Chain A
Amino acid sequence: MGASLPPKEANLFKLIVKSYETKQYKKGLKAADAILKKFPSHGETLSMKGLTLNCMDRKTEAYELVRLGVKNDIKSHVCWHVYGLLYRSDREYREAIKCYRNALRIDPDNLEILRDLSLLQAQMRDLSGFVETRQQLLTLKPNHRMNWIGFAVSQHLNANASKAVEILEAFEGTLEDDYPPENELCEHTEMIMYKVSLLEESGAFGKALEELHKKEPKIVDKLSYKEQEAYLLWKLGRPAEASKLYRVLLSMNPDNYRYYEGLQKCLGLYSESGQYSSDRIEKLNALYQSLSEQYTRSSAVKRIPLDFLQDERFKEAVAKYIKPLLTKGVPSLFSDLCSLYDHPRKPDIMEQLVVEMEHSIRTTGSYPGSDVKEPPSTLLWTLFFLAQHYDKRGQYDVALGKIDEAIAHTPTVIDLYSVKSRIMKHAGDLTAAAALADEARCMDLADRYINSECVKRMLQADQVTSAEKTAVLFTKEGDQLNSLHDMQCMWYDLASGDSYFRQGDLGRALKRFLAVEKHYSDISEDQFDFHSYCLRKMTLRSYVGMLKFEDRLHSFPYFHKAAIRAIRCYLKLHDTPKSTAEEDEMSKLAPAQKKKMKKQKKAEARAKKEAETKIEESTACGVSKSGKRNVKPVDPDPHGEKLIQVEDPMAEASKYLRLLQKHSPNSLETHLLSFEVNMRKEKFLLAFQAVKQLLKLDAENPDSHRSLVKFFLKTGSTSSPTTEAEKLRCSVLEAERPSISQLQNKSLVEANKEFLGRHEDSLVHRAAYAEMLCLLDPSKKTEAIKLIEDSTNKVVQQTNGALGVAREWKLKDCIAVHKLLETVFLDSEAASRWKSRCAEYFPFSTHFEGKRSSVMPDSVYNSSLKSNENGDTPNHPMGQTELNDGQLEAFKSLTVST
């Protein structure tokens, strides 16, 4: 490096490199300038200066200098390497790889560049390239452990586990017998375990077990050893030995569900679906009976049987499970049992049981059939459980009765208010839910969880300002909402984006949804450092696990949600082009107001400009002062105004759609959106593909049906094909149509009718039928509306004469029907009839203005007369603040027993 320079400058050049590595950028810059004074066109110096400037946030200059450097000295591997590093720092990995390859062409055996290249190849999953580079590194430096391991891992990732085993074995051949030294025992264990997992992956279970046994003395992770041994024995068809090991593992940790699962598998008592024959249930029951005698302190051993036991046996077991937990006061009991509610009979059994307990505790102070006095809190927790039970069953009025009683019993338990808030949310009163969540929050200002829950409820009630104020209570001081972004707080982004979307602020909404997408690419980015770190630290099993996790990162729920919502924003943008929307708004206003609006807009624009110049100034001076990264880049578009100016919203939507199609192909919503987007783009064959996917996933879903009808109506109505492409499209559709079973020898009208025939009792299906009926023949609008209004909301059959009634219809479906009547059928009378009917079914719903909802003027949650309970206003009813006459009331029944 720096070879072409005279000795003094060559030393200076070394200083630049050293300063760069030690992050003393100013010093490096000085040295570079000193060289450039004498040799202004020295390529490598120019490159290094550029790289240094890059670290001082002077990107444009950096790129100029580095490019100039390469131009002046195109034969220097240093220049190309630097160019690659620059691209890498900007996450332009493909470009970076190209640069590295150029550098290697000049200096093929440069270890440093090879290593850097291999990291990029791992990051980009260029697996064959990764193998090649790793092999080269090993050939160049075979005495390095890391190079052996790296080559093995690259083979493994490239789907060649047995090759990886061979490499590890060759490496082991180079080791002395007394390897490893004391301080490398853990690393060596990891390598052995990795090798065993490779053997297992390639199906060589026998060899894997053999290897495990052979290396036993050198494995320090005894727990992993046992787990692996038990698993391999089972895989090898030696269940007797395996089950013995699982019992040993259970004695070490009787709350590990995987050990129970392993034991069940060994005993032939395991089913993926959780369904068992009565004979097997008998055996399972006996197994868990004996295990529970052994592990009395385990909760898993008591909980698992509730999943497979049925009817009387279940009743007995669940009673035994619930009682001590209600006595102890375990707030999470309901969540623990929540999964049992998917079963058809178990919820009824639990309801009956707990209602009996409640009654017995009230009358005798003990559980049924017991004479042990329960502590006073048992009644509270029983009511708490019942409230959640009825909430789950959709009987919100009963649920509220129970929770109110619990609050009256012990008003200081925070969970009660949280659950009441949740019930209100489910019942359709988001304002009340937010108020209750805030009440809960105030009861423990140091609890971040209830603070976050409150923020979420506020956002759901579209109280964005209070939500932000509340959220900031727990962020780092000074940084406010940015710190939520830095913490990748995705639930917040989603909830706040949803709220903006509901309020019609698409810019801010998009901003939030795209932020989630950004978080995901950051997470993907974050793996970069681990490519070198994990090989060095030998944490191979977790490294490979991490890479597999990153590969399916975009199938995770938060990304899925954010992408769906972003696409919906773009659809809305497409449907209401910006200019017309604004004009509409303007035309509705009176001229005087128009003037005012214009003035306001001008003022806003001015303020914005001022703010922008300020930001520019601050960044400029920030850099010149110290040259360090002390100024955070300021978001030039905090409200997403630029985002909604996008030229082609459908092109943007397609970007996210592709990710969804790749990573969430089994979600109905993915294909529904694909249908919507492609219909708007008039890409009919792609839309048809979406329809076919929808039918495959769930042909009876109302939205699948809607898409089917809409698609064939649209493509059937377009005039006869003129261009070649259109002709081709028509012939494809014609050939495909018979393959759609719903449409075989049937018109769309008939298909629609049959759809109704299959789902006559379901509100959502009737609504879909009616909507399509009207779409196919607008003259049938009255008939369509009548069909919706003739739907009946049936009472759900209940086995034991429980409190109140549960009905079939869900609130969100009823709201959807209401919107359909309002915005699609454009029949305000029918909509208002629907509204008053639903107000009866959903008295807490604010949407339907139910009698018990917070929109009613007499509601305690009505914002216009917000009650100031426990308020700070000195409002002493006795007029004399010094009094403490409270004692009289409290002591009237206070009997002291000592």
Chain B
Amino acid sequence: MGTGREASVSLDGVRDKNMMQLKKLNTVLFPVRYNDKYYADAISSGEFTKLAYYSDICVGAIACRLETKGGTMRVYIMTLGVLAPYRGIGIGSKLLNHVLDMCTKQNVSEIYLHVQTNNEDAIKFYKKFGFDITDTIPDYYINIEPRDCYVVTKSFAQI
């Protein structure tokens, strides 16, 4: 009889044929409704956007946008989330590790994201992967408190 840990977790890319899976995840995970640009960015980021499958059930996703700045490539993590019942079994880490691997493989200079200043769990999570708070943007959010956010960044040594 399997416990959670034994069940296999696999990753799959996002295409137009299965995009609704990502949309379904986002509707329950985040209070925001994302627009077309979000999904277009996600698909065009290729390997940097992944769905996580827990024994064939789609339970989480990481979605990134690729940015080029002065000839170097940056990655911006738009969303990372896992459905509540499936948290705590390493799926979020697996998703993030995959993207970090891709960053080293594709010579990405840095990867960053925005986090609300009071979201300590998230900050702790990203710090474990070598991210640091690099900036604070006041009044980033309009109608949730606190309105400030941190910019959380991990830089890669250029080879």
B157 to chain A, nearest CB (A): 23
B92 near A329 (CB under 8 angstroms)?
no
With a cutoff of 8 Å between Cβ atoms, the chain A residues found around residue B59 in the complex are 410, 412
A876 close to chain B: CB less than 8 A = yes
Q: What per-residue 1/0 map shows which CB atoms of B114-155 lie under 8 Å from chain A?
A: 111011011001001000000000001111100001000000
A896 near B18 (CB under 8 angstroms)?
no
Listed in ascending order, the chain B residues whose CB lies under 8 Å from chain A are 1-4, 6-7, 16-18, 20-21, 23-38, 54-59, 76-90, 92-93, 113-116, 118-119, 121-122, 125, 128, 140-144, 149
A884 near B78 (CB under 8 angstroms)?
yes
CA distance in complex: A895, B87 (Å)? 7
A271 close to chain B: CB less than 8 A = no
With a cutoff of 8 Å between Cβ atoms, the chain B residues found around residue A869 in the complex are 27
Q: What per-residue 1/0 map shows which CB atoms of A175-189 lie under 8 Å from chain B?
A: 000000000000000
B4 near A373 (CB under 8 angstroms)?
yes
Listed in ascending order, the chain A residues whose CB lies under 8 Å from chain B are 323-324, 327-329, 370, 372-377, 379-380, 408-413, 442-446, 869-872, 874-881, 883-898
With a cutoff of 8 Å between Cβ atoms, the chain A residues found around residue B115 in the complex are 887-888, 891
CA distance in complex: A592, B29 (Å)? 58
Given contact pairs A875-B35, A885-B140, A897-B89, a sample of 18 additional A-B residue pairs in the complex whose CB atoms are under 8 Å apart? A375-B4, A377-B54, A410-B59, A412-B21, A443-B18, A445-B18, A445-B20, A870-B24, A870-B27, A881-B37, A884-B77, A884-B78, A886-B30, A888-B118, A889-B29, A890-B80, A891-B122, A896-B88
Partner of A875, one of B7, B28, B33: B33
With a cutoff of 8 Å between Cβ atoms, the chain A residues found around residue B36 in the complex are 872, 874
A377 near B55 (CB under 8 angstroms)?
yes
With a cutoff of 8 Å between Cβ atoms, the chain A residues found around residue B76 in the complex are 884
CA distance in complex: A110, B16 (Å)? 64
Q: Which B-chain residue is minimally distant from A447 (CB atoms)?
A: B17
CA distance in complex: A893, B121 (Å)? 8
With a cutoff of 8 Å between Cβ atoms, the chain B residues found around residue A893 in the complex are 84, 87, 121
A370 to chain B, nearest CB (A): 8
A896 near B92 (CB under 8 angstroms)?
yes
A878 near B32 (CB under 8 angstroms)?
yes
With a cutoff of 8 Å between Cβ atoms, the chain A residues found around residue B142 in the complex are 878-880
With a cutoff of 8 Å between Cβ atoms, the chain B residues found around residue A891 in the complex are 81, 115, 119, 121-122, 125
CA distance in complex: A324, B34 (Å)? 39
A411 near B24 (CB under 8 angstroms)?
yes
B141 near A885 (CB under 8 angstroms)?
yes
Q: Which A-chain residue is minimally distant from B84 (CB atoms)?
A: A893
B78 to chain A, nearest CB (A): 5
A870 to chain B, nearest CB (A): 4
Q: Given A880-B142, A896-B125, verify A444-B80 contact (CB < 8 Å).
A: no
CA distance in complex: A898, B124 (Å)? 13
Q: Which B-chain residue is minimally distant from A890 (CB atoms)?
A: B81
CA distance in complex: A459, B35 (Å)? 32
Partner of A375, one of B2, B79, B141: B2
With a cutoff of 8 Å between Cβ atoms, the chain B residues found around residue A881 in the complex are 35, 37-38
Q: Given A442-B20, A874-B36, verify A887-B81 contact (CB < 8 Å).
A: yes
With a cutoff of 8 Å between Cβ atoms, the chain B residues found around residue A328 in the complex are 2, 55
B119 near A892 (CB under 8 angstroms)?
yes
CA distance in complex: A653, B24 (Å)? 51
Q: Which A-chain residue is minimally distant from B122 (CB atoms)?
A: A891
CA distance in complex: A449, B80 (Å)? 31
Q: Which A-chain residue is minimally distant from B1 (CB atoms)?
A: A372
A329 near B121 (CB under 8 angstroms)?
no
With a cutoff of 8 Å between Cβ atoms, the chain B residues found around residue A373 in the complex are 3-4
With a cutoff of 8 Å between Cβ atoms, the chain A residues found around residue B89 in the complex are 376, 897
Q: Which B-chain residue is minimally distant from A324 (CB atoms)?
A: B1
With a cutoff of 8 Å between Cβ atoms, the chain A residues found around residue B92 in the complex are 894, 896
Q: Given A883-B140, A888-B122, A894-B121, verify A410-B57 contact (CB < 8 Å).
A: yes
